[in-house]
Structure 1
């Protein structure tokens, strides 16, 4: 298995399109002993909304069922991945202990009885989640289970690089936002970061206070923020200002 999995790390880095990526994560999951796999890219936006791109091989009727259950808000595995970087090893007990036993019963009908999931929380408000599921219990031997978790973590690091490339061909959020802002708008954000008022920014840049405000408002709009302080924080997080 080790040789096959080593090849999976290299293969997923060479994918050329979304179909290739899906095939590689399914092949990896199957080699690890799991029938179902889900990879998810998440973008956090400034106004609190998030954008999701999901790739999986779950049955179509599974999606039809759980779309109506607002699953993400109550699923303990998804909630764990939202808040933590450590993998979660889950089974029926995981759901029963948090009062979601019925949810487990529903998804078990589709062969999702036990599994492992993890999330990589990356800069620029990006997250990559990877989970593998199967219709039987996980190995009881701690050493075997630890090895599976380690293989999944290593594969996730490789897979996320390809996922961003093939599913977001326009580039990273930093590149997208950076292309929108003008040099003068970035200058106004930099001086605002230093605690300067719009009048002081205008004086430093030899422009009027009104023009400085206009540049800041434009930057706020392009960064999808409600005020200049949020815009500064987002620009810092994206690496647009330092």
Structure 2
């Protein structure tokens, strides 16, 4: 790895502010030939959706047009990133069902780009890192050459975005940090299964099941298993 890349990535890894980390990412991708870099996070809490972070250096007119026309509701890139962990390249085929959006991107010089999703294991929060430029298509070689950097940076920014979100909305802290196994144990508990039953179903020891229950109780900030199940259900985690 070139020294400047390693230096920037190390700097980003220890940054504690998402806006500052984004600027590091922007400079990083600018140096790699991308004019634009965007990062956004969407989180779901108790059935309500809210954007916690939306950072980009897109033209002001494009941000205004995108919001005014509610393009996010038809954007295939957004839809992809909410259902996949794989990168996606922007091209006419990707936007086949949203030709108006593709035409608008072309007019703004934003048609050459790609995006990398990042998400929590339980899918309650999703982030999207995008890189774009006004010239030259994104080749398969370039995509995979830069993929490792994008994955690292997207997860670093996602973590910082969620830290900021949870500071602003304390009730969401536990929604985004229960492990898949903890969710599974609570789901079976909601069905009335005992620790012994769950241990048999999941091929775990009863002690391990109780550990996951205790961990869930602590993370959800409640006092017992029933309360943990109720709170997880209200947060649509189970």
Q: TM-score, normalised by structure 2?
A: 0.67
CA–CA separation in structure 2 for the residues paired with 1:176 and 1:62: 33
CA–CA separation in structure 1 for the residues paired with 2:88 and 2:105: 17
1:77 shift after superposition: 1.2
Q: Gapped runs of 5+ residues in structure 2?
A: 178-185, 194-221, 223-227
1:157 shift after superposition: 2.2
Change (3 A) 1:229 1:173: closer
Structure 2 counterpart of 1:121: 119
Task: Note if contact 1:8-1:28 (Cα within 8 Å) is conserved in structure 2.
Answer: yes
Deviations along 1:149-193, one digit per CA (max 9) or x if unpaired, are 232112222232233335553568235899xxxxxxxxxx99973
CA–CA separation in structure 2 for the residues paired with 1:157 and 1:68: 29
Deviations along 1:36-80, one digit per CA (max 9) or x if unpaired, are 111111111222x31112111112111111112111111111111
1:36 aligned to 2:36? yes
Q: How does 1:3-152 map to 2 (within 5 A)?
A: 3-47=3-47, 49-52=48-51, 53-95=53-95, 97-98=96-97, 100-123=98-121, 125-140=124-139, 142-152=140-150
Q: Gapped runs of 5+ residues in structure 1?
A: 179-188, 197-221, 223-227
Larger radius of gyration: 1
1:88 shift after superposition: 0.4
Deviations along 1:199-238, one digit per CA (max 9) or x if unpaired, are xxxxxxxxxxxxxxxxxxxxxxx9xxxxx97644357949
CA–CA separation in structure 1 for the residues paired with 2:15 and 2:118: 20
Task: Note if contact 1:35-1:133 (Cα within 8 Å) is conserved in structure 2.
Answer: yes
1:20 shift after superposition: 1.5
Task: Note if contact 2:39-2:129 (Cα within 8 Å) is conserved in structure 1.
Answer: yes
1:114 shift after superposition: 1.4
Query: What SS is found at the alignment partner of 2:108?
Result: coil
